[in-house]
Amino acid sequence: MRIIVGYQGGSLDQELVRVYNSCMSIRGFAADRTMSVDEIRRLWFEYSTFDPEEFAIAVDNNRVYGMVFARVPGWIGWIWLCIDPSLPQYYLLETLYSLLSWARYRLACKRVCVARINCGYEYSQLYNMLRGIIGLGVEATTVTLMEYKAEFLEPMVRQDIVVRKGSLDDIPGVVEVWNKAFRKYSWFEEWSIDDAIKWYTSRKLLLYIAIDRETDKIVGYVDAEKRLGFDGNLYGYIYTLAVHPETQGRGIGKHYYNT
């Protein structure tokens, strides 16, 4: 097995898609949401923030074992890891160790000592292993605290805002809300209009925007998609719900959830 750094798309794209989709398939609610080669190229290699020096692939005879991003979007490190779940235990752990060791070296070169790790195996043996390899000083764990289940509710009617379905013409306003609403967080990274257009044209998300009646400006948005789970049920998945800081506290976010 060898580690490839600096890959920018090419002969391994199909293998990357195979491993990515295999990793995502273990998240039961997302059974039907897979990525294509075209999506990987647009959302990874053609994205304005993509840096090939922040991406590494574990390969053996042109078979991809796993991949990792090691980035510093804000003031903490961010690691995204995906390993082929079909690998035998020995190769899985060797791939894990190799990729995370590289990620640790990459972040150390940038003088980063705290990292956030996104990993599909975070609550199993892989999660326990990576704590020792990375040597985290601060740990944040994401879990599902609550599942929302309710009958259909009648939409709330507000006099100060209008909620409507968004389009590509609304992307500049959506990007402005994102950049204003999340700038204070450690993981924040500036979003460009071009990248947002690639995101929405590739993922085909449901997009709804909130417009202030007085200023006619976009003051919030939510994007989501419907997914068919392994159990045959249809699930709604919300990616982002954001409200412009100047209009926060007016109940716009709650209005989204009830609409």
Q: What percent of the chain clears pLDDT 90, i.e. is strictly above it?
A: 25
pLDDT at residue 240 in the model: 87
Q: Supply the pTM of this predicted model.
A: 0.65
**Reported confidence tier of residue 29, pLDDT bands at 50, 70, 90:** very low
pLDDT at residue 134 in the model: 57
**Reported confidence tier of residue 121, pLDDT bands at 50, 70, 90:** very low
pLDDT at residue 30 in the model: 47
**Reported confidence tier of residue 28, pLDDT bands at 50, 70, 90:** very low
Mean pLDDT (whole number) for 118-125: 48
Q: Is the pLDDT of residue 222 over 80?
A: yes
Query: Looking at the domain covering 2-134, what would its CATH class be?
Result: alpha beta
pLDDT at residue 144 in the model: 44
Q: Give dist(CA 133, CA 140) in Å, integer.
A: 16
Q: Is the pLDDT of residue 114 over 80?
A: no
Mean pLDDT (whole number) for 24-35: 58
Give the 3-state DSSP-derived string for the chain, with helices as H, strands as E and coil as C. CEEEECCCCCCCHHHHHHHHHHHHHCCHHHCCCCCCHHHHHHHHHCCCCCCHHHEEEEEECCEEEEEEEEECCCCCEEEEEEECCCCCHHHHHHHHHHHHHHHHHHHHHCCCCCEEEEECCCCCHHHHHHHHHHCCCCCCCCCCCCCCCCCCCCCCCCCCEEEEECCHHHHHHHHHHHHHHCCCCCCCCCCCHHHHHHHHHHHCCEEEEEEECCCCCEEEEEEEEEEECCCCCEEEEEEEEEECHHHCCCCHHHHHHCC
Q: Are both 2-134 and 161-257 of the same fold?
A: yes
Q: Give dist(CA 4, CA 137) in Å, integer.
A: 28
The token pair that represents 30 in the structure block = 């997302």
Q: Give dist(CA 140, CA 116) in Å, integer.
A: 7
Please determine, looking at this structure, whether the domain spanning 161-257 carries the CATH number 3.40.50.2300: no
- Least confident among 48-57, 112-121, 147-156, 228-237: 147-156
- Least confident among 45-49, 93-97, 254-258: 254-258
pLDDT at residue 15 in the model: 95
Q: Where are the domains of the chain?
A: 2-134, 161-257
Chain segment 154-209, per-residue pLDDT in tens: 555 567 788 889 999 999 999 999 999 988 887 788 899 999 998 888 877 889 99
pLDDT, averaged across the chain: 78
Cα 138–Cα 53–Cα 105 angle in degrees, nearest 5: 40
